[in-house]
Amino acid sequence: MTTTVTERPPQAASAPSAPPRPRRRRRRSGRTTGQRAYTPWLYILPALLLVVGIIYVGIGYTGWVSTLDWNGIDDSQKQVGLQNYLGIAQDPVFWAAVGHVAIFGVITVVVQMALGLVMAVLFLPVVLAPAAVATAFREIMSPDGSLNQLLRSIGIDAHTAWLADPNIALYSIAAINIWQWTGFSFLLYQAAISQLDQSLFEAAAIDGAGGIQIVRRILLPQLKGTHATLALTGCIGALKTFDLVYLTTGGGPGRSTEFLTTYIYKQVVEQYHAGYSAALSIVLLVIALVLTSIQIRAYRFGED
């Protein structure tokens, strides 16, 4: 029996293998999961510190001062609890100031919104920029001012001291404020009307609706959000009105144009009643919050 032996060809020498590449170590992040979760808060931290440090701490400090009998200057502070708030409830000047703010707010908000809506509907390009108008109107409404001269030029014998008569001074200030801020109402109404679907008005016109019906049944309901915005900003603006009153009448004559803001200023600056003025400030804040809450709820109820 013959055995065949097959010889394998010699294999080529294998090339030397390359040395293994060293593995790169992954750099571990120094931040843990908890640290990454806090990172977004770092971006809002400056604004948060500003708001908390100035607004909320200021409100808290004012609330604490409102429980003191203090002139705001020396160290003689006497804790009186809620005595300042009880004094506010019995203060006739406070209630008179609240009444003045209410009359001023109703007149200015209603008239500004009405004039702004009329100008927006008529596309009247009149925009009055807010400016420091108190000094100018103090001269215009003086007995020898331009307003009386205009009335005399048309045959009306007018020598009225518009800002010195306690019976009409409040309404004169309201007229100045209306002149100053009607342009703002016009801008909001004009922007809102430009965003409405014009096909609604065209369809109503085709169906035979008149101009008054279109305004009452289509335009006004569509502007509900703008109405709420202007009412809210108008009420808050009436509550914080200070410079216009202080620079025209100073709260006078007598107390006929005394506002909450001017009363607070006089209590702390002229009469050194820091605790009482702080209590008045807290009451003003509460009134603003209540009015804002009522208006927001009314707007949401109207939407539902």
Cβ atoms within 10 Å, residue 12: 6
Q: Quote the CATH superfamily of domain 91-303.
A: MetI-like (1.10.3720.10)
Query: What pLDDT sits at residue 25?
Result: 56
Average pLDDT for residues 137-148, to the nearest whole number? 85
What is the distance, to the nearest Å, from the Cα of residue 109 to the centroid of all Cα atoms in its chain?
Answer: 14
Query: What pLDDT sits at residue 122?
Result: 54
pLDDT-derived band of residue 129, with 50, 70 and 90 as boundaries?
very low
Asked if 263 and 282 count as a contact pair (C-beta separation under 8 A), the reply is no
Please tell me whether residue 217 adopts helix, strand or coil conformation: helix
Asked if 101 and 242 count as a contact pair (C-beta separation under 8 A), the reply is no
Please tell me whether residue 66 adopts helix, strand or coil conformation: coil
Query: What pLDDT sits at residue 125?
Result: 40
Asked if 199 and 286 count as a contact pair (C-beta separation under 8 A), the reply is no
pLDDT-derived band of residue 104, with 50, 70 and 90 as boundaries?
very high
Q: Which of 28-37, 56-65, 201-210, 251-260 has the lowest mean pLDDT?
A: 28-37
H-only helix segments in the chain: 33-50, 57-65, 83-89, 92-121, 134-140, 146-153, 169-194, 198-206, 211-214, 220-222, 224-239, 243-248, 260-265, 274-303
Token readout for 184 is 């703002």
Token readout for 149 is 């001269």
What is the distance, to the nearest Å, from the Cα of residue 206 to the centroid of all Cα atoms in its chain?
Answer: 41
d(CA 195, CA 187): 13
Cα angle vertex 49, ends 45, 53, to 5°?
175
Query: What pLDDT sits at residue 161?
Result: 86
Selected residue with higher pLDDT from 76 and 258: 258
The answer, yes or no, to whether residue 35 has pLDDT greater than 70, is no
Say if pTM beats, i.e. exceeds, 0.75. Answer: no
- The torsion angles phi and psi of 78, rounded to 5 degrees, stand at -120, 125
Contacts of 124 (CB under 8 A, 6+ apart): 118, 186
pLDDT-derived band of residue 22, with 50, 70 and 90 as boundaries?
low
The answer, yes or no, to whether residue 186 has pLDDT greater than 80, is yes
Selected residue with higher pLDDT from 270 and 18: 270
pLDDT-derived band of residue 250, with 50, 70 and 90 as boundaries?
confident
Q: Which of 1-15, 113-127, 167-181, 224-238 has the lowest mean pLDDT?
A: 1-15
Give whichever of 16-30, 84-98, 123-137, 205-219 has the largest mean pLDDT.
Answer: 84-98
Query: What pLDDT sits at residue 130?
Result: 39
Sorted by where each begins, the domain ranges of the chain are 37-78, 91-303
Query: What pLDDT sits at residue 170?
Result: 92
The answer, yes or no, to whether residue 30 has pLDDT greater than 80, is no
The answer, yes or no, to whether residue 31 has pLDDT greater than 70, is no
Asked if 91 and 267 count as a contact pair (C-beta separation under 8 A), the reply is no
Q: Which of 110-124, 169-183, 236-250, 263-277 has the lowest mean pLDDT?
A: 110-124
